[in-house]
Each structure stands twice: as C-alpha cells, then as structure tokens.
Amino acid sequence: MSPEQQEIVDRVRERIRSDQSVLERRDVAAADVRRLAIAEIRRHNDYALARGSRPIDDIDASAQVVVASVAGYGPLQPLLDDDEIEEIWINGPGEVFVARGGVSERVPLELTDEQVRDLVERMLHTTGRRIDVSQPFVDASLPDGSRLHVVLAGIARGHWAVNIRKFLPGVRSLDRLVALGSMPRGLADTLGEAMREGRSILVSGATHAGKTTLLGALVSACRPQQRIVTVEETFELSIDAPDLVAMQGRQPSLEGTGEITLRRLVKEALRMRPDRLVVGEVRDAEALDLLLALNTGLPGAATIHANSAADALVKLSALPLLAGRNIDRDFVLPAVASALDLVVHCARTPEGERYVEEVLAPTGEVSDGVAVARSVFRAPAERPRDDRRPLRRTERAA
C-alpha cells in the first residue's frame, strides 16, 4: 500500500467514525466504503494538482485497496475474492499458503504478527466467538459462510496458525458431481434415489476428500416435502432445500458456561419434527445420539473421517463408547449394522482430484465384531483420463 493509499484509508476511517456509521452487513459496508474512498481519492487528486504533488492515477484500483483495508480483510482480500482458491492458511508472517484444485502452493505475501491478529479479530467481530489465553482455539463461520480456524501462539509454536476454508457453493447437486467426473451417472441415480426413499447414508474419507461437498449434494437430492435439520460444530454445509433448519454449536463463555455441544444439538433436532437428520461430522460421543435417532426410524446422513468405507463402519462402532462406561459394544455393533443403508467413501489423488472410490451397503449382520457389508460400487483402479476431473470446491454451478 502506497503512502497516498494509506492516507486515503485513514481519511475514510475517520469519516466513518464521525458519521457513526453502523454497517453490519459486509456487502453494504463495501459499497459505502467504496463511495467514500472514491470521493477521498478525487479530493486528494484535486489538492495534489494544486500543490504539484503526485496524484492517484488508477482510481478504481486504489478504491479497491481502500475497501479491502477498511471493509474487508486487508492483504487477504484478493485471495478471498479469488474463486480458484479453496483454502488459505497462515503459518507465520511470511508463510502464507493457498490450495487450488486440491493442490497447495505458497503465495508471495508478507504479513506481520500484528496484521494477523488484527485480521483474526476483524473476522471474529460478528461471530460472537473469541480467542484468548483461556480459549486458545476457535472455529467460526465468516459472513460468506467460509470457515475460520485459529490456534493461538503458544499452542502453535511461534505464531498464530490460521486456516480459512472458503465457502464456494459451486457443487450443490449430484448432477454437478457427475459432470465433474466425480462419480458415474448410475451411481448418482442410485444415491439420489436412496435419499428420496429415506435411506441413511454415511460419507467417509480423509481430510479434503470432498466429504462435506458430497453430503450437501446428497441432502439436496431429498424430496422437497422433507423437513431437514442439520447440526454442525461450525456452519459448512451448502444445501438447497425449501424446508431447512441449520444449527451450529457454541463455545463456552468466559465464565465457562453456555457451551452448546453437538450432542445437545442432536437431541434438540429430534424435537423439531425432522424428516431427515444431518450431522456435519461425527467425531465424538455424538455418534451415540445419532445411532439412537437412526434406530427409531429417522433417516440420517453424516460424514466421518476414515481411510475406507469399512474403516468408517468400525469407527462409527467405536465412537459411541466415548459417551460413557455404561455403553455396551454388544448394543452398538448391531445398531450400526441395522441403522445405515450405505457408506460412501471419497478419495483424493495426489493431483487434487476428488471422486467417489467405493460404496458399501451394511447387511444388518455382525461377524467377528464388525458390521458385515456388501460392495455396491468401486471405482476402477485406472479411471479414463476424461473422467479424472476433480471434485473441486471452486467449481461454479452451471
């Protein structure tokens, strides 16, 4: 940022403070800030001509810099505005990385520790969440739906660790995933029909394998008459549905009270007359509450981290045991075997391509301490080149 641009930024901020503007929505704030920025730039140019100093030639570009600094997220704003970037993370002042199409790269951006702290505080301003010594981790949803995760310095060595997983609603349907080559048409039809018939589906995969994207597309395939209730630790799901209630958890207050866990949300969701319960990610004792709900006949859908569809069944059979010593494995195993209809496993190649690797269907039987399942689909070891296209978070809807 040039000295002239910094001067414009200071003047715009002063005008906003003097006008006592309360601009809660970011799109409105950006429009108002841009109007003020252009006015101040023109004023600067008028005085510059009279004084013989250097005017600002590119008004639009300078106004964009001012808007990013005042109403946006400063140096990160160009990365956030880039539709090809799906995730941004900061390891330190000079260590800024992005992911495009599932492949990471380092970007030439230098940030000071003070700038990183300022950006995080600005992002958390409207979320109601906080980060401090007593709460050194934070998960939050930004106004555009992107997910922010921050680890405080001291827990992260040297500097704050910041991750921003951008909300890019390009893939909202199974048809779109077929067009991207992430699954064949026949499988998409099978999964869509299963959702419309009220089957319960578990989506598994490693980190960044496309689980949340696939889950959103599956739920969007439900019948329009279905009432869908989703529960997440932090809002991430992108779902097209006419009757939808979405809930997220809450961190405890400074006094240690007011926390809302995923287990609590699952129980509350059951009181809201859902036709389908959706859990963004099962990773702890909420697996027990999900299983209890599914075994009452309520259709469900969820994601889980696992290396294969079979491992996902094993993990879902183990997580309910975290709910307490009185939870019996002899109850959990049959519950898992009978509650789920399909397990869909997502994978990602080293080149960043995301696709459905396999689908299993539990038979309802338990053998040797595991739920028995039959194979419904498995992607070929060598997929045709035309089909090797990534399930990208950055694809726009057709």
Residue range 12-26: mean pLDDT, rounded: 58
Residue range 40-45: mean pLDDT, rounded: 80
Q: Which residue has the higher pLDDT, 166 or 48?
A: 166
Residue range 375-379: mean pLDDT, rounded: 95
Of 173-182, 225-234, 331-340, 382-391, least confident by mean pLDDT is: 382-391
The full set of domains in the chain, from first to last, is 3-72 (no CATH), 77-165 (3.30.450.370), 174-387 (3.40.50.300)
With 50 as the cut, is the pLDDT of residue 68 above it? yes
With 80 as the cut, is the pLDDT of residue 382 above it? no
Q: Tell me, what's the pLDDT at 171?
A: 76
Q: Which residue has the higher pLDDT, 41 or 313?
A: 313
Average pLDDT, the chain: 84
H/E/C letters for each residue in the chain? Answer: CCHHHHHHHHHHHHHHHHHCCCCCCHHHHHHHHHHHHHHHHHHHHHHHHHHCCCCCCCHHHHHHHHHHHHCCCHHHHHHHHCCCEEEEEEEECCEEEEEECCEEEEECCCCCHHHHHHHHHHHHCCCCCCCECCECEEEEECCCCCEEEEECECCECCCCEEEEECCCCCCCCHHHHHHCCCCCHHHHHHHHHHHHCCCCEEEEECCCCCHHHHHHHHHHCCCCCCCEEEEECCCCCCCCCCCEEEEECECCCCCCCCCECHHHHHHHHCCCCCCEEEECCCCCCHHHHHHHHHCCCCCEEEEEECCCHHHHHHHHHHHHHHHCCCCCHHHHHHHHHHHCCEEEEEEECCCCCEEEEEEEEEEEEEECCEEEEEEEEECCCCCCHHHCCCCCCCCCCC
Q: Tell me, what's the pLDDT at 266?
A: 94
pTM score, whole prediction? 0.77
Q: Which residue has the higher pLDDT, 120 or 60?
A: 120
